[in-house]
């Protein structure tokens, strides 16, 4: 099983309960869309799937229990692309940024650079852009570089938090085309129903930290009147 969450609860430091005894199973090879209003717990749930947050209950991802002993392997297997790509881009150049992960896995500088150049090419970043500081990139380019940094770690699962934020329609289509080509299963938190429907047939709806629906995406969108273009 790809993801197995059992009775997971989490409270923010201020005492607000973000997740309230949630359970969720996702099979190998399956994509899942997380829907729900702002503050419903979508991002908090994603951050539990790579061990950034730890609540009470059980979380298993790619057949590994999320615990301290397994964290290095969990971080390699589970890649997350944050809503704000700037949170992931911190090295002097694009190439340095994408090399960072492989270097920390123990790859040589030559191996890390070869890997970084390859995945950057796969996401459409090449040429002079490789030596450019990340903060000089467009929103769409930053999103692609952040994704390349994750792919350079050769993850088995991709987590995407509001991936279309700050992207114009052309950038959204380009990102969607790219994601559809990637073999990794994906968990996508989004408000963009058309983007979601192109990547997954299944959705789970969060409300106040609880799953209130889990099933066929189009049926859930209709039930909760969640399509702004309807």
Report yes or no on 12 lying in a domain.
Answer: yes
Question: Is 179 part of a structural domain of the chain?
Answer: yes
15 found inside a domain: yes
CATH label of the domain that carries residue 191: 3.40.50.300
Residues 143, 123: Cα–Cα separation, whole Å: 10
Q: Report if residue 166 sits inside a domain.
A: yes
What are the residue ranges in the chain where pLDDT is below 70?
Answer: 229-230
The confidence score (pLDDT) of residue 168 equals 86
Q: Is residue 202 part of a domain?
A: yes
Note the pLDDT of residue 147.
Answer: 93
Query: How many independent structural domains does the chain possess?
Result: 1
Percent of the chain with pLDDT over 90: 83
pLDDT in tens, 131-157: 999 999 998 899 999 999 999 999 999
Question: What is the pLDDT at residue 229?
Answer: 65
Q: What is the pLDDT of residue 105?
A: 86
Residue 65 lies in a domain: yes
- Round to the nearest angstrom and report the end-to-end CA distance of the chain: 35
* pTM across the whole model: 0.93
Whether 168 is covered by a domain: the verdict is yes
Q: Is residue 229 part of a domain?
A: no
Domain membership of residue 126 as a residue range: 3-223
């Amino acid at each position: 099983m790809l993801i197995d969450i059992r009775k997971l609860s989490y409270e923010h430091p201020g005492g607000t309960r973000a997740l309230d005894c949630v359970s969720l199973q996702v099979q190998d090879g399956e994509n899942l869309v997380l829907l729900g209003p702002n503050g419903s717990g979508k991002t908090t749930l994603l951050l539990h799937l790579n061990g950034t947050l730890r609540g009470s209950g059980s979380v298993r991802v790619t057949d590994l229990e999320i615990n301290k002993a397994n964290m290095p392997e969990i971080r390699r297997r589970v890649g997350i692309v944050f809503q704000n790509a700037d949170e992931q881009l911190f090295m002097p150049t694009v190439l340095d940024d994408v090399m960072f992960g492989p270097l920390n896995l123990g790859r040589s500088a030559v191996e890390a650079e070869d890997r970084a150049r390859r995945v950057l090419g796969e996401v459409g970043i090449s040429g002079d852009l490789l030596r450019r500081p990340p903060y000089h990139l467009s929103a769409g380019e930053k999103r692609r570089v952040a994704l390349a940094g994750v792919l350079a770690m050769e993850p088995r699962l991709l987590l995407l938090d509001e991936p279309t934020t700050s992207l114009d329609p052309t950038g959204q289509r380009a990102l969607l085309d790219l994601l559809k080509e990637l073999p990794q299963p994906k968990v996508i938190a989004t408000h963009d129903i058309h983007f979601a429907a192109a990547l997954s047939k299944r959705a789970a709806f969060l409300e106040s930290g609880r799953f209130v629906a889990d099933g066929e995406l189009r049926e859930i969108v209709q039930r909760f009147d969640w399509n702004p273009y309807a």
